[in-house]
Structure formats: structure tokens, C-alpha cells
A and B are shown apart, each in its own frame.
Chain A
């Protein structure tokens, strides 16, 4: 009888795990990417719900707060790329003690800003005529737009892969660890007697 009950419990666990229903933890994620002159951030709980009206703070690499704001109805927030160099840290604070961080490296930022800064200088050195300058600018903006468009799915993939899903293997492993720890406790309790 005793063993039967434990067997039923274990069986129930395994069925729940195998069902592969949205086995997520309640946790928030924040994801940010640079596009043109702006940094876009998206925030969501990992059951897919967006974080609405949650606080976003941006820190530089010395830990100084640059700015803060609230996410909109879609969990999004955007800001201008700040002028100074260095990594940026984006911190999301959602309700009831949920918090997440995301870092953007200086390289990624400089890539975006650099492109824009070089823009007016380069054409001047090549040709001085007015028309080619406009053309180059136009071409550049078209390329940028197309790239942004083409890169969107990739961005989405990256975002998805960052949503760390919980695999059944990890859950079973966790249960194993817990049973093991209590095995150790049982051992010490039995020595005490």
C-alpha cells in the first residue's frame, strides 16, 4: 500500500512532465537590439505575456543611471543610442519582484552609431558633386531599410532562443538532486541515532 502511493505520485509527475504543456517558469525576460539610431527593447513574461507599464532603466558601464521609462502596451520601449562609449545595461523591473537584465556591448552600439557618423564625411572625399551625395545617402538608407527588414526574422529567432525553455530532462534532473540531498540528510540523521 505504502509503495503503491509513492508509485502513483511518481507516475503522476512523469505524466505531467511528458504532456509537454507549456512548462515554463514565471519569470521575466528583456531583450534589446540596436536598429539605426535607436535601441529597441521588448519585455515579456516567459508565458508570452507582455510586461505592460513596467520600469526600464538604462545604466552605463560605470553603473550610472542614464534614463528610465515605462514600457508600452506591447511591452516595448525604445531610446536613442546615447552619445558616450561603453557597454549599456538595461534593467527591467516588473511587478511583484520580477527583474531581468540585458547588456548591449559597446561594439554593437558603435556599429550602429559609427555608420551614421561616417555617412556625411565619406561622400565628400570621393566626389564633391551634389547629386552623387544625395544618391549615396539614398542608397545607404535603402540598404539599411532592406537589411533591417531582412534581419527581423533572425532577430526574432535570437529572441526566441534566449527564452530559456525548461526541458523535461532538467526537471527530472532537479527531482533527482532533491531526492539525493534528502538521502544525505537521512544518512546524517541515521548516524545521529
Chain B
């Protein structure tokens, strides 16, 4: 999911950086004072989640958690993911500094789409509906991220079919895992602390 340095062409990098800068500026302006601790915590969650490998069959995957971050943060997902990615790049050379904009966009934009799609749904009175939507949210966020990575690579000149197939197959286990995790998180929050979801 993290695109390394030196892969993407300059126009893709510049577009990604520009869009990310705009979105981060907008969300910082919109961010409320009392929201900041929540953003900081979820940014750290994102930072750690990508570092931990979950063994799965012959290979292993790492979590992205952008679905749940989108649900809980809305537009603030942009600065949260930007900061976390920046530190992953600087400390562990995952992703990179020049690709920071594109990577942030790839992971934060699906988060915001999920926020608008499922924001009301997961706060539904009906527990079953809420949890089903939570699964779809976690699943869809990773699917969209994978698609955006594929699109970025295609614009740089890789053959479309091959990239799209890889993006789908490589991320299918992650999508299911993330869906399940989102169900768990939303279920937990609904029971233990509904205030976070503003129910």
C-alpha cells in the first residue's frame, strides 16, 4: 500500500501532493479544538498498525485501518494519516518523503468516502444493520485504497490489467480482515462508549 520513492512519475507525485495539501489545509481549518486528542490517538493507531504483520497463510499482511479512522475522524483523517505516514517514512523508510502526498491521498481519501457513506449507518438503532455496514466500510476502504494505488501506478505507465489484478488479489485478505476488525471496533464502541460515535 505504501508506494516507495522513485516509482511514480513527477506529474502523479505533484498532483498527489497538491490534493493532499489542499485537503489537509481544509481539514485543519475545520478541526475543532476538542477533537485533537482523538485525532492524535488514531494517528498513532495508524502508525503502529502498518508496522505489525499479521501472518496469513503463506504470506503476511499489515493492517491499514483507514475505514475505522474515516468513520471516527471524518475530514481529520487527512492530517492524522499524513503525520503517521511521514514518521513511517522518516523512521522506517516505509513509503517515502516524495511519495508522501500520493500515499496520504491513497489512504485518506477512501477514509473520507467511507465517512460520508457509512457515517449515519453505523450509528443506526439496529445493531445488525450497523455492524453489517461497519464490515462493508472496512472492506470498501481498503478496496478503494488498492484501486487508487493501481491508478497511480497506471498513470506512471504500468500495464493496467496486471496492476489491477494484483491490487485486488493482494488486498482481498486485508479487506476481509479490516472488515471484521471494523465490526469489532464499532461493536465495542457502541456498547462501551457510544459518545465517541455521537449516538
Hey, which bits of chain A sit against chain B, CB under 8 A?
A: 1, 5-6, 9, 13, 16-17, 21-28, 47, 49, 91, 93, 95-101, 164, 166, 170-171, 173-175, 177-179, 181-183, 185-186, 189-190, 193
Contacts and interface: CB of A to CB of B under 8 A. Distances in A.
A179 B192 contact: no
Contact of A99 (B6, B36, B83, B152): B6
Given A5-B196, A178-B87, A183-B40, 12 more contacts: A6-B41, A17-B48, A24-B53, A25-B62, A25-B88, A28-B4, A96-B1, A97-B8, A164-B93, A174-B87, A175-B44, A179-B40
B196 to A, nearest CB: 8
A190 B33 contact: yes
A22 B60 contact: yes
Contacts, number: 127
Contact of B83 (A5, A24, A97, A178): A178
Interface string B180-192: 0000000000001
Nearest to B41: A9
Interface string B37-48: 101110111011
B80 to A, nearest CB: 8
Q: Top 3 nearest A-B pairs by Cβ distance?
A: A182-B40, A97-B3, A99-B4
B65 interface: no
Interface of B: 1-8, 28, 31-33, 36-37, 39-41, 43-45, 47-48, 50-53, 55, 58-62, 79, 83-84, 87-88, 91-94, 149, 152-153, 163, 166-167, 170, 192-193, 196
Contacts of B83: 178, 181-182
Contacts of B84: 178
Contacts of A182: 36-37, 39-40, 43, 83
7 contacts: A27-B94, A97-B152, A98-B4, A171-B48, A171-B51, A174-B91, A189-B31
A185 B4 contact: no
Given A6-B41, A47-B59, A170 B36 contact: no
